[in-house]
Amino acid sequence: MGKGNGKTEAPSLDLEHELPAAEGGEESTVATTPARAAAGVASEVETLKAERDALLDRLARLQAEFDNARKRAVREQQEFREFAAADVIKAMLPALDSFERALKASGGDSSEFRSGVELIYRQLQDALQKVGVQPIVSVGQPFDPRIHEAIEMVDTTAVPDHHVIDELQRGYKFKDRLLRPAMVRVARNPNA
């Protein structure tokens, strides 16, 4: 079986990958191949349908989870707001109690009434300061349109130009956020 003896070698057969011989000649091979292909396509379609159904089910579950998470976040935010409001209200209750005592007090002593009102004022300031509210210091400060609202310009030489000379309504900040600007009168110094 060498090359030199003049005999040719038979081609080697790969029996593992060889297609089985068709029964009844070549015509039946042609006839069964489309049937097998159709069966293969049908099983592939079924597999794809099952995969699609699984993905649609997964999508529906994820959408439901997302909706639940969104609703839970909204509920938690609302609960947090109510909790924060409860703390602020609780901090104001002593001042409310003092107002009630001042209103119940009968008598003509105006100094006692004034000291009661001053106590209430301090209690309210303390309660607001505990939750982070700070008054804006305005009188004597340069006018700042970010925190001041000018109500009137007053001609004067006693105060530098564009400085606050009077505060009509106090402004407040909550932490670093402006709650309300201060209403002020601003100096206009013609000599400056």
What confidence score (pLDDT) does residue 126 get? 87
Tens-digit pLDDT profile for the chain (192 aa)? 445 555 555 555 555 555 555 555 444 444 457 777 777 788 899 999 999 999 999 999 999 999 999 999 999 998 888 887 777 777 777 777 777 777 676 566 677 777 878 888 888 888 888 888 889 999 999 999 999 999 999 999 888 999 999 999 999 998 888 989 999 999 998 876
DSSP letter string, 94-156: HHHHHHHHHHH--SS-HHHHHHHHHHHHHHHHHHHHHTTEEEPP-TTSBP-TTTEEEEEEEE-
What confidence score (pLDDT) does residue 54 get? 95
**pTM check: above 0.85:** no
Cα torsion through 33, 39, 45, 50, rounded to 10: -150
Residue-range domains of the chain with CATH: 133-192 (2.30.22.10)
